[in-house]
Homo-oligomer: A and B are copies of this chain.
């Protein structure tokens, strides 16, 4: 299987790859003239690129006509996730990208153990994790990780979506009953401490539908993966 790289420098049957990716292809993969890779514009269009030259900081390609990426799900899911302890958010981001989320939005809530600290730096790292996962699992877009919000800001965001599903540790309706025909979906899962009752109420008043993930108590890093897998299964995007 040819390697995949994201680049926006594609047009008129030609393409260029810059920076670390160019270095990786030229010096780590030791690619040669004529070798083929898949180039993705990050907007769900892919191209077969054939190497036509190496320059100091870039690799040159002839590019095939673009074709739609086959890897994007038919639903656009944004994962709003309670900010967990330690390095768990990196794992959550990686799995969310593999399972087809378009973006991840961490949030701080009352029972979060994590507190905001060097978040700009961390956000850059989370986005690198997302980009690496996107390349590795073959996504057609580059999912983004937003800067963290406070839970109180979530209601203002939910209007962007056809539906919001709130995975509450106290249980709720089955996702399959609540799903309907929603395409643009907000999925909300908590941090280690879960949600305070008034936070749960706030989310429900903002229109989020409460769903349950079964009688077993899932860890905060398992719940988003399981909920995304459930969403993708029920919409035919995990088959």
Listed in ascending order, the chain A residues whose CB lies under 8 Å from chain B are 70-71, 73, 94-95, 98-100, 136-139, 173-176, 211-219, 222, 225-226, 229-230, 232-234, 236-239
Given contacts A95-B222, A225-B225, A238-B230, A216 and B71 within 8 Å (CB-CB) = yes
Given contacts A71-B215, A98-B219, A213-B238, A233 and B136 within 8 Å (CB-CB) = no
B229 touches A137 (CB 8 A): no
Question: Which chain B residue lies CB-closest to A136?
Answer: B217
Report the separation of the CA atoms of residues A211 and B238 in the bound assembly, to the nearest whole angstrom: 10
Stoichiometry (number of copies): 2
Majority SS of interface residues in chain A?
A: loop
Report the separation of the CA atoms of residues A239 and B175 in the bound assembly, to the nearest whole angstrom: 7
18 pairs from A and B in contact (CB 8 Å cutoff) = A70-B215, A95-B222, A98-B217, A98-B219, A99-B216, A175-B239, A212-B239, A213-B239, A214-B232, A222-B225, A225-B226, A226-B238, A229-B229, A229-B230, A230-B230, A230-B233, A230-B238, A233-B233
Top-6 shortest CB links A-B: A174-B239, A229-B229, A230-B233, A226-B229, A71-B215, A137-B216
Given contacts A137-B216, A216-B138, A211 and B225 within 8 Å (CB-CB) = no
- Kindly identify which residue among B137, B214, B219 contacts A237, using a CB–CB cutoff of 8 Å: B214
Question: Which chain B residue lies CB-closest to A70?
Answer: B215
Given contacts A98-B218, A137-B218, A233 and B239 within 8 Å (CB-CB) = no
A214 touches B239 (CB 8 A): yes
Report the separation of the CA atoms of residues A232 and B176 in the bound assembly, to the nearest whole angstrom: 12
Q: Determine the chain B residues whose CB is within 8 A of the CB of A218 once the complex forms.
A: 98-99, 137
Please give the distance in Å from A169's CB to the nearest CB on chain B: 10
A98 touches B138 (CB 8 A): no
Please give the distance in Å from A95's CB to the nearest CB on chain B: 6
Q: Determine the chain B residues whose CB is within 8 A of the CB of A94 once the complex forms.
A: 219
